[in-house]
């Protein structure tokens, strides 16, 4: 809708993205052109590949190197305090953890309650922590996937926004399964950011309700929303 003359359009919500590596989910979010402004990309590693992508796309970047606080009396607390200052300079409505490989203190998480999200490569609450694909293969699960969730002080916990499941093939390796899950991450995370920016997420206890868009038509049939693996006989 075109704003009326003399009326300024509402400013886009501001987002800060935290990364530690190549930033593939950052790229997916930026390339999805969400209705928000990526105010900054901040990394705890100066060699993170995602910083170059952000710079090439005109996004402000900053490094808060966690190793610089190794000699502090409370290294984690000192790092989190510096990171919080860097984030808050941009006054974001949302903080996005996109492959940010640091365990955050409870005080840091509390500061961003309800406005910090993470993506994890498993169908939470299954397989929190590291090596999710290896553990899924070792357990012989048929379905694996990824989860976008609001961040709480418990690791890889918090109200779930959206999940995607992939079938686990008999000949899967960690690499092949990881690649298939990553494809779904690149679909889910931009959608979750868009929902937040559009004001369509409501935390209701342990659940997150996604409000329908104004032009919502019909809800997909239940059969269209199920993934069964291995496939059932027809």
The residues carrying an active-site annotation are 120
Distances (CA, A) of 134 to 23, 100, 182: 22, 20, 15
**CB-based contact 146:133 (threshold 8 Å):** no
CA–CA separation, 177 vs 232, rounded Å?
21
Closest to 175 measured CA to CA, from 137, 130, 129, 127: 137
Smallest CA-to-CA distance from 35 within 58, 19, 11, 18 is with 11
Distance between first and last Cα of the chain: 47
């Amino acid at each position: 809708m075109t704003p009326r003359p003399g009326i300024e359009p509402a400013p886009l919500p501001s987002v800060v993205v935290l990364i530690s590596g190549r930033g593939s989910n950052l790229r997916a979010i930026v390339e999805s052109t969400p209705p928000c402004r990526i105010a900054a990309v901040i990394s705890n590693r100066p060699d993170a590949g995602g910083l170059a992508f952000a710079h090439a796309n005109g996004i402000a970047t900053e490094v808060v190197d966690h190793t610089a606080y190794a000699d502090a009396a409370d290294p984690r607390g000192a790092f989190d305090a510096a990171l919080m200052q860097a984030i808050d300079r941009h006054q974001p409505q949302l903080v996005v953890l996109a492959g940010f490989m640091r365990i955050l203190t409870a005080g840091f998480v509390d500061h961003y309650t309800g406005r910090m999200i993470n993506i994890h490569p498993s169908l939470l609450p299954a397989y929190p922590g590291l090596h999710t694909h290896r553990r899924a293969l070792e357990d012989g699960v048929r379905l694996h996937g990824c989860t976008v969730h609001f961040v709480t002080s418990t690791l890889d916990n918090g109200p779930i926004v959206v999940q995607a499941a992939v079938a686990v093939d008999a000949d899967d390796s960690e690499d092949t399964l990881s690649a298939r899950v990553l494809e779904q991450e690149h679909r889910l995370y931009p959608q979750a950011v868009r929902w937040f920016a559009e004001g369509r997420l409501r935390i209701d206890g342990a659940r997150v309700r996604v409000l329908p868009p104004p032009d919502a038509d019909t809800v997909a049939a239940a059969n269209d929303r199920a993934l069964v693996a291995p496939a059932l006989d027809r």
